[in-house]
Each structure stands twice: as C-alpha cells, then as structure tokens.
Amino acid sequence: MSRDPGADDLLSEHPDAVAATAQRLRTVLLDAHPQLEERVRRGWHSINYRDPVAGFVCALFPGADGVQLVFEHGARLPDPEGRLTGTGRQVRALQLTAPGEVDPVVVGTFLDHAVELGAGLRAR
C-alpha cells in the first residue's frame, strides 16, 4: 500500500467532514486494491490513484462541502443504479459528503471495474 504523506497536508485545508470523507475513501481504495500508488497532485488539488497495469484509474477531489471520487473511464463503467454523475464523454464521479456515505462494496465494485477496464484498454 503506497500512501502519499502529502495527502494529509492537502486534506488539512478542508472542513473536518470533507477530510474525514476523503480519509475514509483513501482507506477503502487502498484496502480494496493495495497495489495502487497514491499521489497528491497539488496543481489539480487531488489525490490520484494509479495501478501498475491499468495506469491512472481514479482520483479524489476534495471540495468545500464534499469529495468527488472521479473515475478516469467512468462513462464506460457499469452503473445500473445511476450512482455516478457527469455528462462528459469519459469521466464520471461519485459525490460523497460524509464518511458514512462511503460504502466499501459500492466503491470497491466501481474500482474493480475501473482497474479491469484500464488494464484492458492498455493491453490493446
């Protein structure tokens, strides 16, 4: 598990609920896929996750009142319950405002699909 120590610094700039939600997401993501590399991108104000095979799969974007978990190829992910937001051609996001909203099964399922999709796209 590769945690970027700069993430705590980035999250300290946000309200407690936002920081706690992001911390919960970090734990769920890295528990589900310990091979992910976590990297803070100050210019994007994000915490990015890269898989050694699939490449960049997702990122956390903390905001004033919540956290977006953005999937790089989210428009291609199965989303039968319509949980993902966004209308662009590529990315989609889960919007979360409290740590209790972070469902490890939901996040883990989207992450599993994102890693599988990314690996398939890079194998072409």
Examine the pLDDT at 68 and tell me if it is beyond 80.
yes
Residue 34: burial class (beta carbons within 10 Å; 0-12, 13-18, 19+): exposed
- pLDDT score of 76: 96
List, in order, residues 6 or more apart from 55 with CB less than 8 Å away. 118, 122
Examine the pLDDT at 2 and tell me if it is beyond 80.
no
- pLDDT score of 45: 97
pTM reported for the whole predicted model:
0.95
What pLDDT, in 10s, does the model give residues 75-123? 999 999 999 999 999 999 999 999 999 999 999 999 999 999 999 988 8
- pLDDT score of 11: 97
Do 60 and 25 form a contact (C-beta atoms < 8 A)?
yes
Can you tell me the mean pLDDT for 21-30? 97
Can you tell me the mean pLDDT for 30-44? 96
Measured between alpha carbons, how far is 45 from 40 in angstroms, rounded to an integer?
8
CATH 3.90.1150.200 fits 6-123, yes or no: yes
- pLDDT score of 112: 97
DSSP structural state of residue 14: S
